[in-house]
Amino acid sequence: MQERQNAAEGQSRDSGVTTLVIAETRLYREGLAQVLARDPRIDVIGSAPGIESGLAMVVETRPDAVLLDVGLASEPRAVMELALASPHTRVVAFGVADNEETVIRCAEAGVAGYVPCEAGVDEVVTVVIGAVRDEVVCSARLAGTLLRRVGAMARERSGSDPEVRLTPRETQVVALIDDGLSNKEIAARLQISAPTVKNHIHNLLEKLNASRRSEAAARARALRVGIPDRIS
């Protein structure tokens, strides 16, 4: 990794990190390419309107990085084809929305870096150079999302997690969430107040390392905790 980092640093000082921009919208990709070309740290070798034409350019030029529109970056096949065409090339998704679903799709597809929708040119350059150095430059929120996903995948592979311990009431609540009941319906079914239900859900999200009710129920099923016989 050190050799790759030294090479990346040398490229960024001498001729810039060679970069290809792939996006379906012409104005979008050409505008980004032109702006990045003004930065001496980036050597823009061209732009392409889609994966097919982009693959041809990747095979021909073997760029250090590909800036790929998030709509394409979230497709595993697209990222895999680019990786097979040029294994050393790092794929960076740009235009990434600040939501967990989009980030996870891109991560599972295999992208090496993330450029959020609101990013400026300097941030794009920083992310691209970081990806080439095998570094992930991202916000704390994005890093948290990725770490939660890694943790969830590890628990799913193991099939159980001895650290997860739900109280009897939390077990009832997560079972009713799994049944599709709303907070108000859960409160009525268990004859407790709505704020109490919210407190139980808050605890469930923390214990199950989840960000949404449905995710908590899914993880409880995967971990084989908290989904008892249905409550009558």
pLDDT in tens, 118-148: 888 999 999 999 999 988 777 677 777 777 7
Give the other-Cβ count within 10 Å of 223's Cβ.
22
Residues 37 and 99 in one domain: yes
- Could you tell me which of 44, 100, 95, 46 has the C-alpha nearest to residue 72? 95
Residues 139 and 185 in one domain: no
Q: How many domains does the chain have?
A: 2
Residues 144 and 165 in one domain: no
pLDDT at 112 over 60: yes
- Could you tell me which of 3, 8, 150 has the C-alpha nearest to residue 90? 8
What is the CATH number for 206?
A: 1.10.10.10
The answer as to whether 155 is a domain residue is no
User: Is 91:79 a contact under the CB 8 Å cutoff?
Assistant: yes
Q: Place 46 in a pLDDT band, splitting at 50, 70 and 90.
A: very high
- Could you tell me which of 227, 217, 223 has the C-alpha nearest to residue 161? 223
The answer as to whether 230 is a domain residue is no
Backbone angles phi and psi of 40, in degrees to 5: -65, -15
118, 148, 178 — which closes off a domain?
A: 148
98, 125, 148 — which closes off a domain?
A: 148
Give the other-Cβ count within 10 Å of 15's Cβ.
12
Strand, helix or coil for residue 224: coil
Q: Residue 28: its pLDDT value, please?
A: 86
> What's the whole-number mean pLDDT along residues 200-227?
81
Residues 90 and 9 in one domain: yes
pLDDT in tens, 4-34: 344 344 443 446 899 999 998 888 889 999 9
The answer as to whether 57 is a domain residue is yes
Q: Place 230 in a pLDDT band, splitting at 50, 70 and 90.
A: very low
The answer as to whether 229 is a domain residue is no
Torsion, Cα of 47, 53, 57, 60 (10° steps): -170
Range of the domain at 176: 161-223
Residues 54 and 139 in one domain: yes
User: Is 22:72 a contact under the CB 8 Å cutoff?
Assistant: yes
For residues 209 and 159, what is the distance between their CA atoms, to the nearest angstrom? 15
Residues 130 and 48 in one domain: yes
> What's the whole-number mean pLDDT along residues 157-182?
79
Residues 129 and 190 in one domain: no
The answer as to whether 8 is a domain residue is yes
Residues 34 and 143 in one domain: yes
Q: What is the pTM of this model?
A: 0.56
Q: Place 2 in a pLDDT band, splitting at 50, 70 and 90.
A: very low
98, 121, 148 — which closes off a domain?
A: 148
Residues 139 and 26 in one domain: yes
Q: Convert 147-164 into a string of H (helix), E (strand) and C (coil).
A: HHHHHHHHHHHHCCCCCC
